Structure 1
């Protein structure tokens, strides 16, 4: 019986508004590059997987400035390459830097509050597990999650990133449940699925865009509202 559900944060509960695909298209256009928005969605899927694997080694936010810049150049290059556009790494970094300057805000996906409220009604303990480089309290206040989420853990607080066990074990300790009684929901196979399975937590892969069809070793959902079918 599932007694606790843990969530990843970015691209699971929250997204950028305007969407990051739109911001990417806009930034590229300023450099004379036309990219297809749907192709950029796939590009982000490739680049996010690259990021989760890199973070498992040496987290990006802990790298020297020069190495961090090199990572973001690789990240942007991966997005565009997967979208069918080849650019030099130097230009990729300029595009990424410009993208970060564009106005945007963080918003919840539409399926978050209905799902969270339903799980709370069922008495499920809810937690956040994120590879964020800062605490989540401020975000939870701004997004209306305070009072709905029982606790939030970040890699900056625990000292290691997903998929490493300590951050998942800390969540189990906070929830006071056994691994078999917990479900972890996230959009990254390497960080979320492998990490959860590594400590015996039941993984649930959020695949909003249908890019993880090759995954067969854990359930996939396209909406958070499907979580209730896996309790």
Structure 2
């Protein structure tokens, strides 16, 4: 079946933070006497992200109490540090997370597009494909996409907040299929998370592509794995 629509995850697929998260996490940890190399931290953040996305798939952050959110943040930070062999208490994890948040605000961290995004989207758009966004990100995305220049490429946005379901729930993917006006066999989804993006898309009957820019997941072999969004066109 010919692919007529391509869906994308948002964070770590189309956008990153500037300054990068790993740099701010390294700085936050240093405040507490913990020294970690940026590249090791980048890989550790990937492990933390997996925990976070699996947790919000079980119970969305918007439905958690303040105490449950604090527990999630502590577990996230502890998982990140465990990935580099550092054990901390929940209290220490929350202090590091708070310092990380303070640094983000202090340095004006903002979303930026990865370098491959605009060339890849322009190429796909030029082929007449419908392009959409599927994300568990719960902030108001339209103005962010406008500011980043994504709106001129994307035909629609599907958010977990609007649908009431988070990836990997098939409901959020089905909402995207409905917006695109295509069957599942005519769609492809690109994302950086195996559990929420790859398995979620596959369970909805959509062909998945795992974007793994830093080659952090060589063990994954049951789906195509790409290093750049400019490779997407080769899988149509």
SS in 1 for 2:182: coil
TM-score by length of 2: 0.96
SS in 1 for 2:209: strand
TM-score by length of 1: 0.98
Indicate the residue corresponding to 1:156 in structure 2: 161
Q: Which runs of 5+ in 2 are unaligned?
A: none
CA distance in 2, matches of 1:8, 1:117: 17
Q: CA deviation at 1:41?
A: 1.3
Q: CA deviation at 1:40?
A: 0.8
Indicate the residue corresponding to 2:213 in structure 1: 208
CA distance in 1, matches of 2:92, 2:136: 27
Q: Map of 1:1-231 to 2, 5 A cutoff?
A: 1-102=2-103, 103=107, 104-231=109-236
CA distance in 1, matches of 2:224, 2:212: 10
CA distance in 1, matches of 2:182, 2:214: 32
Q: CA deviation at 1:31?
A: 1.8
What is the alpha-carbon root mean square deviation over aligned residues? 0.9
Q: Which moved more, 1:150-159 or 1:129-138?
A: 129-138
CA distance in 2, matches of 1:30, 1:133: 30
CA distance in 2, matches of 1:42, 1:61: 27
Q: CA deviation at 1:88?
A: 1.5
Q: CA deviation at 1:137?
A: 0.2
Q: Which runs of 5+ in 1 are unaligned?
A: none
1:17-46 Cα shifts (integer Å, max 9, x gaps): 011000101111122221121211121111
CA contact (8 A) 1:35 1:85 kept: no
CA contact (8 A) 1:131 1:154 kept: yes
Q: Which moved more, 1:116-125 or 1:83-92?
A: 83-92
CA distance in 2, matches of 1:83, 1:2: 40
Q: How many residues align?
A: 231
SS in 1 for 2:158: strand
CA distance in 1, matches of 2:82, 2:204: 35
SS in 2 for 1:95: helix
CA contact (8 A) 1:77 1:86 kept: yes
CA distance in 1, matches of 2:8, 2:70: 29
